[in-house]
Amino acid sequence: MPNEKVVSEHYTHGDLLSDIETALITQGKTIADVTLEDLAPVDEFHIGGRRATEHFLDQLNFTSQSNILDVGCGLGGPARFAADRYNIHVTGIDLTPEFIETGQVLCQWVGMEEQVTLHQGSALSMPFADGALDGGYMIHVGMNIADKAGLFREIYRVLRPGAHFGVYDVMRLNDGDLCYPVPWANDDSTSSLASPAEYRQLMVDAGFVVMTENNRHDFALSFFQDTIAKTKAAGGPPTLGLHVLIGATTAAKMKNMIENISAGYITPMEIIAQKQE
């Protein structure tokens, strides 16, 4: 069962903001002209990147001017995208201090510090009032949280009645020994995978009504194939990408994740639910 300190340390880079800025400068960009699209290769830290974010969030029917929760917001990439696309305010929370510190600066770079608010803290004990938020989502978060029952109870608490909530996580499909390391864990001591059925039951137990589920297995493998082909054609990865965030183990982690998905052990899944009125 992973503890929060170990999980946070797993994601801590050490000099992330500087490395992002260096990569942007190498690409011919400056802080003055950086855009959301420029940042997407590094701040959309999940399978499918921006394409997956669009597909997922478009299903949640966020209303303009609402305040939406991003659980495990990372650097805030999906939060900034959502705030811009749907004209909403996004309140994010993440365990890793460096992610929040870096994300706040990225919000300033693209002029979105008023639309996106990022907090450092635990998703199991959020500093938000009961019913304070109009909807929410989490993207590739549950793999590091063993207490998913507590997680969904806490999310349920902070959402208003009738709010929509979406999960896009890597979930366990079939038994089998996973290849490690993967992006969320170096070994099984910090990996807390659960099946779609377990997610669904825990969300229902918390009070949610599950509306839809989507297995994104085929999309994931197609996305990885496209990414590998583009990387080969370009003679290497782009200057700014997830390798800046993950570091020297990027290739091994991505290879293992593809193998685990191909073997049918895991898959990225979407679950869309609603808090009862």
Among 201, 207, 205, 133, smallest CA distance to 171 is for: 201
Q: How far apart are CA 170 and CA 214, in angstroms?
A: 12
Provide the β-strand partners of residue 89.
Answer: 67
Provide mean pLDDT across the span 72-91. Answer: 98
pLDDT value of position 2:
63
Provide mean pLDDT across the span 94-118. Answer: 98
Question: Does residue 1 register a pLDDT over 70?
Answer: no
Provide mean pLDDT across the span 67-75. Answer: 98
Provide mean pLDDT across the span 190-213. Answer: 97
Question: Does residue 131 register a pLDDT over 80?
Answer: yes
Provide mean pLDDT across the span 61-76. Answer: 97
Non-local (6+) Cβ contacts of 115 within 8 A are 80, 83, 84, 88, 89, 90, 107
The CATH number that applies at residue 235 is 3.40.50.150
45 is in which domain, residue-wise? 4-275
What is the share, in percent, of the chain residues with pLDDT greater than 70? Answer: 99
The DSSP letter of residue 207 is T
Return mean pLDDT, the chain: 96
pLDDT value of position 3:
83
DSSP for 180-197, written as a single string: S-BTTBSSGGG-----HH
pLDDT digits (tens, 9 = 90+) for 225-245: 999 999 899 898 889 999 999
The amino acid at 165:
F
Query: 75 near 102, Cβ under 8 Å?
Result: yes
Non-local (6+) Cβ contacts of 12 within 8 A are 96, 97, 98
Q: Where are the alpha helices (DSSP H) in 129-277?
A: 148-158, 196-206, 217-234, 242-246, 250-262
Give how many domains the chain has, as a whole number.
1
Among 169, 150, 140, smallest CA distance to 269 is for: 169
Q: Where are the alpha helices (DSSP H) in the chain?
A: 4-11, 16-26, 36-43, 49-57, 77-86, 97-109, 148-158, 196-206, 217-234, 242-246, 250-262
Provide the β-strand partners of residue 91.
Answer: 69, 117
Query: What is the residue whose two structure tokens read 């639910």?
Result: 273
Question: Does residue 277 register a pLDDT over 90?
Answer: no
pLDDT digits (tens, 9 = 90+) for 29-65: 999 999 999 999 999 999 999 999 999 999 999 999 9
pLDDT value of position 93:
98
Q: Residue 107 is encoded by which pair of tokens? A: 């919000």
Provide the β-strand partners of residue 170.
Answer: 268
pLDDT value of position 86:
97
